[in-house]
Amino acid sequence: MGARPRKVKPRRSGAFRTQRGWGRLILVLGGASSGKSTVALSLAGRRSPRAFVATGEPLDEEMAERIRAHRLSRQGRWETFEIPVDVAKWFSVEGRRYRTVVLDCLTLWLSNLQRQGIPAADVPTQVRDMLQAARRANGRVVIVTNELGLGIVPPDRATRRFRTLAGQVNQQVAEEADEVHLAMSGLTLRLK
């Protein structure tokens, strides 16, 4: 008689998900005006208390108007934090207080890191630190990001480099996420 087959435990998604009770990480990606923020709020659910971590900064009037519109769409049901750079620190200090956190958006955070002078080579470490801190939040964390690779090839080198870096960051977060959803024209497709 041969050896009995061993039961193989399914691999848990997420390299940092090593302790029981850690939260669920969901990534929502899509193009500009694809409906990804609305999808993220829907996936976040209704568990309270809820935090909305906004990385966008009102650097011009158009961006200020977008921020105002996003705030109105949440209608005070979320506690909003404007955290352009120190997202990992926010999760470490505040994250455990919330059962639901939406981080909107990873691409703007990446842009802010670049504006702060963080070299591209250091970005994966920044992302890793943010993901580790987000995992310790204990609740559901929904991260919104832009899929920049579906458009035309940018004509200038700096934009092409940023697009490549954003793609690498999205892949890093998607690998760690428990779920990944793609938003297009207000519709969603679950990828993972």
Reading the block at residue 55, the tokens are 């990385």
Is 181 in the active site?
no
Is residue 118 within 8 A of residue 169, CB to CB? The reply is: no
Reading the block at residue 158, the tokens are 């700096």
Q: Give the residue from 169, 54, 59, 55 showing the smallest Cα distance to 120.
A: 169
| CA-to-CA dists, residue 115 to 2, 85, 139, angstroms | 62, 10, 30
Catalytic choice (17, 70, 74, 163): 70
Is residue 183 within 8 A of residue 68, CB to CB? The reply is: no
List, by residue number, the catalytic residues. 70
